[in-house]
Structure 1
Amino acid sequence: MGVSTSAPEAGVTLVTVDFPPVNALPVKGWYALADAVRAAGRDPATRCVVLAAEGRGFNAGVDIKEVQRDPGHGVLIGANRGCAEAFAAVYECEVPVVAAVQGFCLGGGIGLAGNADAIVAAEDAVFGLPELDRGALGAATHLARLVPQHLMRALYYTSRTATAAELHGHGSVWRVVPRTGLRAAALGLAAEIARKDGYLIRLAKAAINGIDPVDVRRSYRFEQGFTFEANLSGVADRVRDTFGAPTSRPGAREDVARKDVAQEDV
């Protein structure tokens, strides 16, 4: 359990997250992930990083029960800083990062996938921000990198999700493959990238980040300010206390996946 690193292909570093049961990361997990991605990018032998996860889903965001157990705001501050560091580590990695996404990609998972350079997704992958249902805010910065502006807003306000096929239609997912072939497809794309000159691919990553119209680190930090306000006002605790409770909201085709995550003992 935790974050592990391996080298399955020449020039490719695989960073794997494994926090059962649903890959909802504790504070230390976010920092461990950030450290692993940054270390992989610094390694001169690495030309591409694949970010993957074990289990049913790619990432379920922050470990909400860790936040609930804290009588103060220490865990909340740690989670926000840890998420910011992990998201930034993916974006600022010195080489391209390919995200291999299966199952649910929620909350912090959107921050990771949204900051990746390319996404390969399993057919069962769903992407969304259930933040408003969990007494939180944030990662609209990263969802806006995956879907058009108005769709991002509708998904954010409703806590609905989009499928891998839908994101492929918007151009943000490179390939959609059967779940059994996900790791191989992601490693295949990474190996193709890794065949480029190592120095040149690092220049390319820096150049592309330099022309990005949005400063993702600053934008996400702005969002986090409203998360703190929600907590200080008490509204976050009020919403979090209902976390996992049944909902009567009709018409959300992704409810099964979202409730499965909510009902786990994360």
Structure 2
Amino acid sequence: MSAGEQPVAIERRGAVLVIAINRPERRNAVDAAVSCAIAGALDDLDADPALRVAVITGRGGSFCSGMDLKAFLEGDRPELPGRGFAGVTESPPAKPLIAAVEGFALAGGCELALACDLIVAAEDAVFGLPEVARGLVAGSGGLVRLPRRIPQAIALEYVLTGARMTAPVAHHWGLVNRLASSGGALEAALALAEEIAANAPLSVMMSKRIVREAPGWPENEIWDRQRPLAEAVIGSEDAREGARAFAEKRIPEWAGR
């Protein structure tokens, strides 16, 4: 990164916000400045009704190698209070977040990808939680989220050995949603983001919320908990617009309310 460049590059592409870690000389390792920038971008995502989806990626052929160990030794911590590592692992946004992974997504970088709702990866990308080989623990969500995304025994094997998982294997187990050619992860993620952004924003956000929260609901409370959330969307202007557009055979014009 040359003088004057920001550690995180933010770009709007229509309704999609692209957040790119811009420290290729450090394999996009995360320090406090990166975490603050990502947190700020995600706050903008949720606050701006014109933005529907975010894609997080890394520049220079690598997604993220985890915590910046050099900065850590100098007293810099990449965890933000209430937000966690990279400003997202403990407090993901309400709107959908997609990881576009090239190269390495290791340690905290893997945990950053796991904090995203969907993952698009280049065929030669690599994931891993090598903390056990360094006398550490993947405490920024890796040990919690990986066994929720893939079979627990498979997750445990990778966690306990610290082995790397290739993108095709990750796709096989359902960790990766879509594979792309090398260098094509961002464009493939943007295509997925545009598919999502075409839908009603309230419906998308509430659907994400229910999918994320429902596994923790007691079985006898599922319908009572879901009903008010669904009704809040069904009673919206967009619900009526969706019905009208369907009847009139046209593309709906979403108002986000």
TM-score by length of 2: 0.74
Pairwise CA distance, 1:84: 6.9
Aligned to 1:177: 180
Contact 2:127-2:166 within 8 A present in 1 as well: yes
CA distance 1:133–1:66, change in 2 (3 Å)? farther
Q: Which amino acid aligns with 2:53?
A: C
CA distance in 1, matches of 2:69, 2:17: 30
CA distance in 1, matches of 2:149, 2:63: 16
Contact 1:101-1:122 within 8 A present in 2 as well: yes
Flag as ranges the 4+ runs of structure 1 deviating above 3 A: 78-82
CA distance in 1, matches of 2:117, 2:158: 22
1:108-187 to 2 correspondence within 5 Å? 108-138=108-138, 139-187=142-190
Aligned to 1:200: 203
From the CA coordinates, give the structure whose radius of gyration is larger. 2
CA distance in 2, matches of 1:39, 1:5: 11
> How many residues are aligned here?
206
Pairwise CA distance, 1:60: 0.6
Pairwise CA distance, 1:210: 1.8
Q: How large is the Cα RMSD of the aligned pairs?
A: 2.0
Q: Deviations over 1:68-94 (max 9, x none)?
A: 234xxxx45x547541742134x3x12
TM-score by length of 1: 0.71
More displaced, 174-183 or 115-124? 174-183
Aligned to 2:90: 88
Pairwise CA distance, 1:163: 0.8
Pairwise CA distance, 1:135: 3.4
Aligned to 1:63: 68
Q: Deviations over 1:152-183 (max 9, x none)?
A: 22212221111110111112211111123222
Structure 2 unaligned residues grouped into runs of 5+: 1-5, 218-257
CA distance 1:213–1:102, change in 2 (3 Å)? farther
Q: Which has the higher contact order (CA 8 A, sep 6+)?
A: 1
CA distance in 2, matches of 1:79, 1:98: 20
**How many percent identity over aligned positions?**
33
Contact 2:121-2:179 within 8 A present in 1 as well: yes
Pairwise CA distance, 1:196: 0.3
Aligned to 1:17: 21
Aligned to 1:220: none
Structure 1 unaligned residues grouped into runs of 5+: 215-266
